[in-house]
Structure 1
């Protein structure tokens, strides 16, 4: 498939020190299948993915948990017509459902099976970047990464990543095998990682993949200017999208919108540009299911901000004015502030 010569140019960025290069902007693909409303028709979803590739976005993010499984199958079919060596495919493992309850697994047997199952669904010979989606509090991270290291040696995955991992977990994992990227929420209204996680990643040479860089669509106007579908899970799972919190947070959106006018861009582009300006080791992966929204996101690459302007944008969304937590109580228990991995010395390998 030929690249469209008239589409904007998307530069590349390095993630980690192991050699992975990706487009400076990725595409989060979860929304095609789950969470933000009804699944998108496959033909439409593939059209968006192909448009992204033709526009220079070559870094695609999915997970076996999205659907579950249907999102990986969709990506597998979408990538069929694209040159494999020009695509960087990231997927994840660890979240599974047992008797209707979510369980997180990082044991060696599960890691291997999850990888092989994902390869089959994706119809690929290897996964470029394979993340542990959430940390298993029952299994030492050394065991999980030890098995991932074997998968690297076997050529089934190229690079290892973690998602929503604490600083201690990241450091211990990196001691077993270099971690290429940590995927974590980072946006104008999710900045608590800046004190500990970001400095550690930079100390160890780990790339940062920012998920929900638009505040789950909030800074692009979603949930502020539009009524969400009944099937949209944001009001159920994210307190910032609930009741009076939405009204309070509108003030933050309006401030960003006012600054966006000054910079001759949309509020979403300004919010995304702020993330892009946090460093050459940062790659945001906003999700969208529509080509116009994708084009708007790509346009954020052209928004240039000085250090003073970056401070001004950040100051428009002060932490103490953000109404609501980023996750509900149940989901918050799986995030980096709440999870710990047991010491290797305490672990008994399952027979």
Structure 2
């Protein structure tokens, strides 16, 4: 496994945080919006990932309404705390009707809930304490606002996180789904380590503004959904059936026509994967973390087998010519909305 540093600054007490380039993404582990979860399998997936060098885990309270964080806490309880990096989030409440309404949803048990994006000071303090309890730790390595909240000034949000850093409950501050202007505003109040944003072969819009800003200002980019939630593994074919509560069924990426077009692209790069003795998914992940400005890739796994496959992506070497070969075919891929 390779590691990259995030959160470096001129402050003498901030040496930076070393994170595994393949970081375990624990959204699916919580089951929410993924058609449920198998807790024991999720715990095993995290533990085997750690055994092969995936020391960083990204989670959030909203993933299973606390379940994902509890699973992460269970998985790491026997690992020395300084050997694992916990990345979690705040700012999505399912138990408080305040802030920006985000969506109607359901818990894993089918109970209807309304979710709000809210990042007021008192809410952040409560969320941090709840996360620490569920995770079974006394500090969070990287604490990230999950989505922008237009009802709360960015300054108020970041000052609350600064206080948590002063108290030793948080080491570094990050954001998720922020654009360059929002990052610029946040930087007036706190030193940001990173921005976690969606990025994959079929979703590259951050290359226009977010990536240039982060490169210029030394901010890490944590790319989530790099396999586009399974689309880029080569395992999804036209007619694929999702579980009843799986959110992917409603996304345009998974229309039969787009599954066909993606398969054509993947067939073109499969010989390279075969030559590397790698899966298509591993080749996609390696390409992703070699893109300018992309620091790490957050990758989910439902079981130990998937987790080991994801980690092994870093065993692949791609030359500049091979990266350009993949990108050339990718640039010919067009999906229908």
Offset at 1:231? 3.3
Offset at 1:163? 0.6
| Counterpart for residue 146 of structure 1 | 159
| Structure-1 separation of matches of 2:239 and 2:333 | 25
Residues 1-351 of structure 1 mapped to structure 2, 5 A cutoff = 10-17=1-8, 18=14, 19-34=16-31, 35-40=33-38, 42-97=39-94, 98=97, 100-224=113-237, 227-231=240-244, 233-278=246-291, 282-318=295-331, 321-324=334-337
Offset at 1:96? 1.8
Change in Cα spacing, 1:20 to 1:57, as seen in structure 2 (3 Å) is: same
Offset at 1:282? 0.7
SS of match in other structure, 1:39: coil
1:15 and 1:281 in contact (8 A); partners too: no
Cα deviation 1:189-219 (Å, max 9, x = unaligned):
1111112101111221111111111121111
Offset at 1:15? 1.2
Q: Which runs of 5+ in 2 are unaligned?
A: 9-13, 98-111
1:25 and 1:57 in contact (8 A); partners too: yes
User: Which deviates further from its counterpart, 131-140 or 309-318?
Assistant: 309-318
1:276 and 1:301 in contact (8 A); partners too: no
Change in Cα spacing, 1:269 to 1:177, as seen in structure 2 (3 Å) is: same
Structure 2 length-normalised TM: 0.87
| Structure-1 separation of matches of 2:215 and 2:335 | 27
Q: What is the aligned residue count?
A: 314
Change in Cα spacing, 1:226 to 1:75, as seen in structure 2 (3 Å) is: farther
Offset at 1:311? 1.9
1:13 and 1:280 in contact (8 A); partners too: no
SS of match in other structure, 2:187: helix
Structure 1 length-normalised TM: 0.84
SS of match in other structure, 2:86: strand
| Structure-2 separation of matches of 1:30 and 1:138 | 26
Cα deviation 1:24-54 (Å, max 9, x = unaligned):
21100111222223211x2222111111111
Offset at 1:305? 1.5
| Structure-2 separation of matches of 1:175 and 1:219 | 38
2:172 and 2:192 in contact (8 A); partners too: yes
State the superposition RMSD in angstroms.
Answer: 2.0
Cα deviation 1:30-89 (Å, max 9, x = unaligned):
11222223211x222211111111111100011000001111111111111111000000
| Structure-1 separation of matches of 2:178 and 2:241 | 30
Offset at 1:236? 3.4
User: Which deviates further from its counterpart, 302-311 or 141-150?
Assistant: 302-311
Offset at 1:281? 5.8
